[in-house]
Chains A and B, each alone.
Chain A
Amino acid sequence: MTACVRTKVYRLQASIENFRAGNNPSAWKKQQVCIVNWDFIHQYLPLYQKAAVLTLQIGALGILAAIAIGIVCTMIQYFKVPLARQVVSVYVEISRNTPLLIQLFFIYYGLPKIGIRTNPYACGVAGLAFLGGSYMTEAFRSGIEAVDKVQTESAASLGLSRLQVLRYVVFPQALTISFPAFMANVIFLLKETSVFSAISLMDLMFTAKDLIGLYYQTTESLFLLVVFYLLILLPVSVLGSLLERRMRYAGFGS
């Protein structure tokens, strides 16, 4: 419900602002012979910028939380903690086998039902963390499993404790191995932010859909949406490959 109301209020505000600024949408019709309405793009760029910042914030926080969950779950699996280990496997299966949209609905509409007050922002972060946690767990786990068992044994034979073996021998190697999967997860999670509009977060997708609904400037709105997502994701992707190469040259691998 809240989502609906917010959307309406937002739309109203946007159109009032528009009229105040003397931007009568009917005036644009003359320019529609042009393929792209640059005035429209110019005018609504700030709106996208704001939305991009929000998307990035939630994305970054959610991913950080996902990494934390991933590390904890991986440790639980590595040390075979009884009970907690089963909980982790159930969590991973649930989280990986349901869409983020549905997870968000559960968090957004479900938590208030059991008396936990939330806001869309926190829900967005929590949803991303819930989904990302399992993906990170799987990435880290595959990295740890790829480290040869004899490495663990040789470290243990030197007298290292299990925690020391993990910290000094297994984890550094696992990190390099799982890095490509880790980066793929980061990019995947950033892209998943596009469903946040469903819980009334004014992210990029929300902005684009809204502008389309208000002014019917579909091409321009979607163009901006694509550009902004690329602006967010391309640097991450490039940085990822650079880091990956750096790690490989820093004396890792066989």
Chain B
Amino acid sequence: MAEKEKTELKKGAPLLVVDHLTKRFADLTVLDGISLTVHEGEVIVIVGPSGCGKSTFLRCLNALEDIQGGEILLHGERITQNSKNLTELRQRVGMVFQSYELFPHLNVLDNILLAPTKVQKRKREEVKEEAMALLARIGLESKAESFPRQLSGGQKQRVAIIRALCMHPEVMLFDEVTAALDPEMVREVLDVILELANQGKTMLIVTHEMQFARAIADRVIFLNDGNICEESPPEEFFDHPKTERAKQFLQTFTFSRKGS
């Protein structure tokens, strides 16, 4: 565990503390006592075989799933589905979904403005300025009046990221955000996330893009069977995985890449 301390050194104060998190669906234990501390400005990539609980873990952090044990603390405040200030806590934890989930009945701009104006009661003009600036950054300012169905998958996902960003969350969760995209569109979405990392945004990213994970991560978490199987800096994880299970997992990736 010496490596772990080393990676934590270069980062700021603890932002999100997960302590012995346990999640069960009826008899099935999906997360079995996971502990993790996320520091300010840290980028954590979570990888693992399908069904290992990656997505469920992220969903718990935003209280989209109820938890059966342990606790999640955001700056010392407990996140549970029963939290009185749940909507306030959720504003501080932004989430981007695999299937974009833009609201189909609203245009791009209204998608972005809905939560800041209705939840945070900010002035429409003020948020609009911010949103347009962000849209311009990703080259989508001309699409502000378009409806989601008129956008490509990659464009939709980038808008979804901006929609979450406009709430000024302290931490962003990315749940396999490129899994539903054509290969060519993956790049444009990952570039946006890379830029966020450069700006020092705290992020938890679940992904199957191993090269991207290696480039962006401060720490890689390898999840298997509801447990943290391995936790190390990206170079170490990808070049010298410690556990057999991780080696096996990484090997399947190499194979699939050769095959395609």
Q: Is the CB of B101 within 8 A of A251?
A: no
Q: Is the CB of B64 within 8 A of A160?
A: no
Q: Mark A143-185, 1 if CB is under 8 A from B, else 0.
A: 0000010110111111111001000110011001000000000
Q: Is the CB of B95 within 8 A of A154?
A: yes
State in angstroms the CA–CA spacing of A4 and B162 once bound together: 70
Min CB distance B16 to A, Å, is 15
* A216 interface contact, C-beta 8 A: no
Q: Is the CB of B97 within 8 A of A160?
A: no
Q: Is the CB of A158 within 8 A of B149?
A: no
- Contact residues in A for B160 (Cβ distance below 8 Å): 154
Q: Is the CB of B119 within 8 A of A164?
A: yes
Q: Which bucket holds chain B's interface residue count? A: 20 to 34
Q: Is the CB of B105 within 8 A of A172?
A: yes
Partner of B90, one of A148, A157, A252, A254: A157
Partner of A156, one of B90, B104, B118: B90
Min CB distance B43 to A, Å, is 20
Q: Is the CB of B107 within 8 A of A251?
A: yes
Q: Is the CB of B115 within 8 A of A160?
A: yes
Q: Is the CB of A159 within 8 A of B167?
A: yes
Partner of A254, one of B93, B149, B164: B149
Give the residues from 59 to 93 in chain B that come closer than 8 angstroms, CB to CB, to chain A: 62, 64, 87-88, 90-91, 93
Q: Is the CB of B99 within 8 A of A158?
A: no
Min CB distance B14 to A, Å, is 22
* A253 interface contact, C-beta 8 A: yes
Min CB distance B147 to A, Å, is 4
* B23 interface contact, C-beta 8 A: no
* B52 interface contact, C-beta 8 A: no
- CB-based nearest B residue for A159: B91
State in angstroms the CA–CA spacing of A251 and B148 once bound together: 8
Q: Is the CB of B105 within 8 A of A251?
A: yes
Min CB distance A158 to B, Å, is 4
Min CB distance A232 to B, Å, is 32
- Contact residues in B for A172 (Cβ distance below 8 Å): 105
Number of A-B contacts (CB under 8 A): 71
Instruction: Name the residue among B88, B91, B97, B101 with the largest chain A CB count within 10 angstroms.
Output: B101
Q: Is the CB of A160 within 8 A of B103?
A: no
- Contact residues in A for B167 (Cβ distance below 8 Å): 158-159
State in angstroms the CA–CA spacing of A150 and B99 once bound together: 8
Min CB distance B74 to A, Å, is 13
State in angstroms the CA–CA spacing of A155 and B101 once bound together: 9
State in angstroms the CA–CA spacing of A254 and B164 once bound together: 21
Q: Is the CB of B97 within 8 A of A153?
A: yes
Give the residues from 230 to 254 in chain A that come closer than 8 angstroms, CB to CB, to chain B: 251-254
Q: Is the CB of A253 within 8 A of B149?
A: yes
Known contacts A153-B64, A254-B104, A254-B149; decide if A160 and B99 are in contact (CB<8 Å): no
Known contacts A150-B99, A153-B64; decide if A158 and B90 are in contact (CB<8 Å): yes
Give the residues from 165 to 210 in chain A that come closer than 8 angstroms, CB to CB, to chain B: 168-169, 172-173, 176
Give the residues from 113 to 170 in chain A that come closer than 8 angstroms, CB to CB, to chain B: 148, 150-151, 153-161, 164, 168-169
Give the residues from 109 to 140 in chain B that come closer than 8 angstroms, CB to CB, to chain A: 114-115, 118-120
28 A-B interface contacts by CB (under 8 A): A150-B97, A150-B101, A154-B97, A155-B103, A157-B90, A157-B95, A158-B90, A158-B114, A158-B115, A158-B119, A158-B163, A158-B167, A159-B88, A159-B91, A159-B119, A160-B114, A160-B115, A160-B118, A161-B87, A164-B118, A168-B118, A169-B103, A172-B105, A173-B104, A176-B105, A251-B107, A251-B147, A253-B149
* Interface residues of B, Cβ cutoff 8 Å to A: 62, 64, 87-88, 90-91, 93-95, 97, 99, 101, 103-105, 107, 114-115, 118-120, 147, 149, 160, 163-164, 167
